[in-house]
Amino acid sequence: MFALVDCNNFYASCERVFNPALEQRPVVVLSNNDGCIIARSEEAKALGIEMGTPEFKCREFLREHNVAIFSSNYALYGDMSARVMTTLGELAPSIEIYSIDESFLDLTGFGRFDLEEFGRMVGKKVRQYTGIPVSIGIGPTKTLAKVANRLAKKTAGYNGICLLDSHKTIREALERTPVSGVWGIGRRWSHRLEQRGITTALGFSQVPATWVRKEMHLTGAKVQAELQGQSCLPLEEVQPSKKSICTSRSFGRNVRERDELAEAVSTFAARGAEKLRKAGSLASTVTVFAGTSPFEEPLRQYWATRTLTLLEPSQDTILLTAAADRLLDELFRPGYTYRKAGVLYSGLLPAGGSGANLSLFSETQGTRDPRHEKLMQVMDNLNRTYGRGTVRLAGESMEAWKPVQEHRSPCYTTRWSDIIEVKG
DNA sequence: TCTGGGGTCCTAGGACCC
DNA sequence: TCTGGGGTCCTAGGACCC
């Protein structure tokens, strides 16, 4: 059996933990640049506020209904997530951290234990230790645990816990779940299924397997098997190392000049290199992309991507930033209003491992330099101690893409200066 | 005026090998 | 007229997740 523990309205709940005046009040959290609504408290959902609504389209409505608005504060959410996951890790033999607000627990060996009772205990402890409310779904496969979790959230009277442990309870649950609500069935697939008259998870579980395999490939076949109670997705306790690391942003304002765009790209390249070093990875390829807003009129739209393979895999900010700048040169077209850019590192290899090929032409410019390695260590240490951006390349700048954040809450758990009034 | 960021997996098709 | 069989690697694009 698997349990899926999911934090309720996670970002909104994080804001509430440190601001009890928000209890009972509708709360929304906005995406970067205060663009869209990405989290809503129950009260906000009850007002009919949809996920993903652009803030500017509902500004009046939010004011009228006294909705508390927050810019996203990932330092806070990340830290609160770690607290929740630590708590869960102490309550179950093994845990897979699936996302910032969800974990699967392995309940193998719980035998005749009352799983519902266990779930209630878990929910109570997490609430007590962190202040975050959670919902818990339990089932014989991960996908069924997801189904159960969804019902636990949506059904009044379940008290945030739903256990699927018999043929009958599973069948009823699948009947009550729309096919679009199944984990792994997104918008496209659910639309296609609905067109064929398949509207519920139960209906999908009964479609001939050959059809599913042909039309929805291996991925769809696994979802179906899991709904039928056959576990195909194991608990992944150790997170597989990342295959790519991406740093990208939409800009807080219009960017038209190459130099300005270059500042943004350099900043993303450097931030990405920092992530590489933290992960202990080397990048083999660098991709740069940039473009206009997708809401721009068609003739004024431009979107471009360029990739290069490095002579040697690297995690060196100086080298990677130079590579990103060259790629930007190739893709930049004057005359457009750029609204987004990013840098993607892929072909990641473990640093210090034997997997990295050395360049045949090691004197060539752009290969490994031990002095740079030392410099990167020093930069990382300084930036860790005194805050990001304390030491950086001259080409980096926050200006072009400085995010709009008009409603950010204090970093209650990670930044003293946010919560202590400095006198004198 | 104003619309997020960061990932994964799978498949098809092209280039290339013997 | 008529032109094999078996494989790998890479990339782009489409689907999905939070």
**Which pLDDT belongs to residue A175?**
97
Query: What does the alpha-carbon distance between residue A269 and residue A247 come to, in Å, rounded to a whole number?
Result: 7
Confidence class for position A359, pLDDT limits 50, 70, 90: low
CA to C1' distance (Å), from A357 to B18: 26
Say which residues have a Cβ less than 8 Å from residue A36's Cβ, sequence separation at least 6: A30, A52, A53, A54, A55
Confidence class for position A122, pLDDT limits 50, 70, 90: very high
Distances in Å between the Cα of A230 and the Cα atoms of A144, A205, A394 are 10, 11, 56
**Which pLDDT belongs to residue A148?**
97
A209-229 pLDDT, tens digit per residue, is 988 988 898 889 999 999 999
CA to C1' distance (Å), from A191 to C12: 24
Contact A129, A7 (CB under 8 A): no
**Which pLDDT belongs to residue A361?**
52
User: Which residues 354-373 of chain A have a CB under 7 Å from nucleic chain B?
Assistant: none
For residue A394, the SS3 value is: coil
**Which pLDDT belongs to residue A18?**
94
Q: What angle do CA A343, A347, A351 make, to 5 degrees?
A: 100
User: Which residues 19-58 of chain A have a CB under 7 Å from nucleic chain B?
Assistant: 31-33, 35-36, 38, 52, 54, 56
Mean pLDDT of A254-267: 91
Q: Report the interhelical angle of A10-17 vs A74-91 (nearest 10°).
A: 100
CA to C1' distance (Å), from A217 to C4: 30
Query: What does the alpha-carbon distance between residue A346 and residue A314 come to, in Å, rounded to a whole number?
Result: 11
**Which pLDDT belongs to residue A89?**
96
Q: Mean pLDDT for chain A?
A: 90
Confidence class for position A239, pLDDT limits 50, 70, 90: confident
Give A402's DSSP letter: -
**Closest nucleotide to A102 by C1' from CA:** C18
Q: Where are the beta strands (DSSP E) in A72-194?
A: 94-99, 102-106, 134-139, 161-163
Contact A245, A275 (CB under 8 A): yes
Contact A378, A277 (CB under 8 A): no
Residue A189 contacts strand C, CB under 7 A: yes
Nearest to A133 by CA among A266, A7, A321: A7
Say which residues have a Cβ less than 8 Å from residue A283's Cβ, sequence separation at least 6: A245, A272, A276, A310, A313, A314, A315, A320, A345, A346, A347, A348
CA to C1' distance (Å), from A278 to C2: 62
Residue A188 contacts strand C, CB under 7 A: yes
A329-340 pLDDT, tens digit per residue, is 888 999 999 989
A267-280 pLDDT, tens digit per residue, is 999 999 999 999 99
**Closest nucleotide to A98 by C1' from CA:** C18
CA to C1' distance (Å), from A306 to C13: 16
Distances in Å between the Cα of A216 and the Cα atoms of A50, A192, A368, A420 are 29, 10, 45, 55
pTM score, whole prediction: 0.92
Nearest to A180 by CA among A203, A160, A164, A212: A203
CA to C1' distance (Å), from A263 to B6: 21
**Which pLDDT belongs to residue A268?**
92
**Closest nucleotide to A401 by C1' from CA:** B4
Nucleotides of B under 7 A from a protein CB: 1-11
User: Which residues 259-288 of chain A have a CB under 7 Å from nucleic chain C?
Assistant: 285
CA to C1' distance (Å), from A210 to C2: 38
Q: What angle do CA A99, A104, A108 make, to 5 degrees?
A: 165
Q: Report the b/e string of A386-409 with b at 16+ CB within 10 A.
A: eeeeeebbebbbeebbebbeebbb
Contact A190, A145 (CB under 8 A): no
Residue A31 has pLDDT above 60, yes or no: yes
Query: What does the alpha-carbon distance between residue A411 and residue A399 come to, in Å, rounded to a whole number?
Result: 22
Residue A181 contacts strand C, CB under 7 A: no
Listing DSSP states for A341-356 in one string gives EEEEEES-EETTSS-S
Percent of chain A with pLDDT over 70: 95
**Which pLDDT belongs to residue A422?**
59
Output the six-digit token pair for A86: 């630590």
Residue A293 contacts strand B, CB under 7 A: yes
Rounded to the nearest 10 degrees, how much is the dihedral formed by the CA atoms of A109, A114, A116, A119? Answer: -50
**Closest nucleotide to A100 by C1' from CA:** C18
CA to C1' distance (Å), from A74 to B15: 44
Domains of chain A by start residue, with CATH: 7-75 (3.40.1170.60), 78-228 (3.30.70.270), 244-352+369-383 (3.30.1490.100)
A69-102 pLDDT, tens digit per residue, is 999 999 999 999 999 999 999 999 999 999 999 9
Residue A221 contacts strand B, CB under 7 A: no
Contact A28, A68 (CB under 8 A): yes
